[in-house]
């Protein structure tokens, strides 16, 4: 096979065979090394996109990312091993592999998203088969890339590089590409483009690398026109996918949520979707329902008022999570309150629920109250870095579906929380369903008790969720206040002095069961929660 391009680009060989001192680096050499950067970036994006989609759609982010990364790296190893059998026409093989990677990897998020929306819940095994099948396919193709690039570079620039120098150059650009994408993926790409368009965009970059190789090695390719046509068709397919990404996302999410979507937003932390239909507005975070305007008052009244009334006259209140402002709305019903500090990780949540007219109406403009201080920070870190003390702490986090949230249900976190609770203060934690996830509920109770807090569990029926649980945590003994009538704010739609005592009674099917505390080192609650809820999905 003629090395016409190599002859045109090379200069006299070095007698030592290493990098030639003072030799000018050619544009072709730089661009080939830049191609390594792009190839590495694209490969990591497909891996991150698959892991993110699996986390969004299947839950338990640690499990999903771990198995996706493991399968992907295994497949890359298989691809690297298979590259030894590609001995001739290396450039032609590289071109074909780049186009296949661009198409398979670039379209993978779109295919998986659409498949999850079409397949019924009973067919999630088929979805997992498709997910891991695509991950293995893309991983094998990506594993073929770097060995081929390295062999092409060695052939083209053997006069400049010894093997050890070539390996160092290629791996340097490979790791730099991985670094750039690992930072850009959560901070820039997903928030700005979304998962589907991010995948397609990097698929187009793979096609661009193929097109560049096509031009550089045009003199030695036997079927140049066929490869040029393949590049053009691949670019057209991915271009059409980029144009259709938004309609596809809308169609898939409409099928998944079953109601009209009025707001969808990707943030560095989560996927926020708001729907409105059948007279109710609903909030979903990463596909999990957070509230329905039809009955959210039941949940938030039950969450807030038992702790507030038990304390008696709370002045300083801390709300952790609850960026929708609903819990803050209930807190502000108590006239003794002087300051509410809301710590919410995602600024997009607090911004959305303080600016959107429909949502502001739902939380009664609570986030705009002069009594409310909004802090966008990680609750764990914020508690660790501040020493303020509060009369009531309201913990309104999402359920422990993954380890990132599960850390907020551990002995470590509750010990931090305890340090911010006044001597006569009360904390309340939303704690999943004691009926569906019975052991998970009592695990939270055991975890609070393990740090020295007394607990008073209770539950309420919220139609959107079913029977839902809460736990009061305190230092002084708790008893049913004799003055419920005077302590409860007026205008409540769910709680009443007559109904309150019944919330603290647990029938046999929700009664306490043995459960170990949830510790940061193991986070057994995440697995218990997934097992219990997985039986009813």
Which amino acids are annotated catalytic?
396
Element holding 320 (H helix, E strand): strand 316-321
Q: Residue 147's closest CA among 165, 173, 167, 124?
A: 167
Element holding 316 (H helix, E strand): strand 316-321
What is the C-alpha to C-alpha distance for residues 23 and 12, in angstroms, rounded to an integer? 10
What is the C-alpha to C-alpha distance for residues 419 and 285, in angstroms, rounded to an integer? 30
Token pair 């403009």 in the structure block, residue: 365
Report the largest interatomic distance among the alpha carbons of the chain, rounded to a whole angstrom.
Answer: 96
Element holding 250 (H helix, E strand): helix 224-257
What is the C-alpha to C-alpha distance for residues 429 and 445, in angstroms, rounded to an integer? 10
Strands 390-396 and 421-430: parallel
Q: Residue 308's closest CA among 327, 326, 329, 334?
A: 334
Decide: residue 207, CB within 10 A, 0-12 exposed, 13-18 middle, 19+ buried. buried
Q: Residue 153's closest CA among 298, 25, 327?
A: 25
* 48 three-class SS: helix
Work out whether the CA dihedral 36, 41, 45, 48 comes out positive or negative.
Answer: positive
Long-range CB pairs of 462-466 (<8 Å, 24+ gap) are 462/295, 462/296, 462/298, 462/299, 462/302, 463/294, 463/295, 463/298, 464/282, 464/289, 464/291, 464/292, 464/294, 464/295, 464/296, 465/289, 465/299, 465/433, 466/433, 466/435, 466/436
Question: Angle between the 90-118 and 190-216 helix axes, to the nearest 10 degrees?
Answer: 160
Q: Residue 463's closest CA among 347, 292, 335?
A: 292
What is the C-alpha to C-alpha distance for residues 196 and 46, in angstroms, rounded to an integer? 11
Decide: residue 227, CB within 10 A, 0-12 exposed, 13-18 middle, 19+ buried. buried
Query: Tokens in use for 5?
Result: 């391009």
Residue 176 CB coordination number (10 Å): 14
């Amino acid at each position: 096979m003629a090395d016409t391009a190599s002859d045109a680009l090379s200069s006299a060989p070095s007698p030592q065979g290493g990098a030639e001192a003072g030799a000018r680096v050619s544009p072709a050499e730089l661009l080939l090394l830049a191609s390594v950067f792009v190839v590495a970036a694209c490969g990591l994006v497909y891996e991150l996109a698959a892991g993110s989609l699996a986390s969004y759609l299947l839950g338990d982010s640690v499990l999903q990312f771990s198995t996706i990364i493991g399968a992907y790296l295994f497949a890359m190893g298989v691809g690297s091993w298979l590259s030894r059998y590609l001995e001739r026409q290396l450039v032609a093989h590289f071109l074909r592999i780049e186009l296949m990677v661009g198409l398979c990897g670039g379209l993978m998020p779109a295919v998986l998203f659409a498949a999850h929306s079409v397949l019924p819940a009973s067919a999630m095994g088929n979805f997992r088969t498709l997910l891991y099948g695509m991950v293995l396919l893309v991983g094998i193709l990506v594993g073929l890339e770097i060995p081929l690039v390295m062999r092409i570079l060695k052939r083209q620039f053997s006069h400049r590089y010894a093997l050890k120098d070539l390996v160092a150059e290629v791996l340097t650009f490979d790791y730099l590409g991985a670094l750039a994408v690992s930072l850009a993926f959560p901070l820039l790409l997903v928030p700005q483009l979304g998962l589907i368009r991010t995948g397609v965009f990097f698929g187009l970059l793979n096609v661009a690398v193929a097109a560049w190789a096509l031009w550089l090695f045009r003199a030695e390719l036997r079927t140049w026109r066929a490869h040029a046509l393949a590049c053009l068709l691949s670019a057209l397919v991915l271009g059409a996918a980029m144009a259709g990404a938004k309609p596809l996302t809308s169609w898939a999410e409409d099928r998944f949520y079953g109601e009209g979507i009025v707001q969808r937003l990707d943030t560095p932390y989560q996927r926020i979707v708001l729907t409105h239909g059948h007279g109710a507005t609903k909030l979903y975070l990463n596909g999990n329902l957070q509230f329905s305007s039809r009955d959210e008052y039941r949940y938030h009244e039950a969450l807030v008022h038992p702790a507030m009334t038990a304390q008696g006259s709370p002045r300083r209140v801390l709300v952790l999570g609850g960026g929708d402002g609903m819990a803050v709305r209930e807190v502000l019903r108590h006239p003794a309150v002087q300051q509410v500090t809301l710590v919410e990780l995602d600024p997009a949540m607090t911004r959305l629920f303080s600016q959107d007219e429909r949502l502001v109406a739902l939380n009664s403009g609570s986030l705009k109250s002069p009594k409310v201080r909004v802090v966008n920070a990680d609750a764990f870190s914020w508690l660790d870095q501040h020493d303020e003390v509060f009369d009531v702490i309201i913990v309104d986090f999402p359920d422990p579906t993954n380890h990132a949230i599960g850390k907020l249900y551990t002995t470590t976190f509750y010990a931090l929380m305890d340090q911010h609770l006044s001597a006569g203060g009360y904390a309340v934690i939303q704690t999943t369903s004691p009926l569906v996830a019975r052991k998970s509920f009592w695990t939270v109770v055991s975890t609070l008790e393990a740090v020295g807090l007394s607990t008073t569990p209770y539950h309420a029926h919220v139609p959107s969720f079913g029977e839902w649980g809460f736990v009061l945590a305190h230092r002084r003994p708790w008893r049913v206040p004799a003055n419920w009538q005077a302590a409860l704010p007026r205008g409540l739609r769910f709680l009443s002095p007559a109904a309150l005592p019944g919330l603290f009674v647990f029938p046999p099917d929700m009664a306490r069961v043995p459960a170990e505390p949830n510790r940061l080192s193991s986070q057994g609650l995440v697995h218990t929660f997934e097992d219990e809820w997985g039986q009813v999905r």
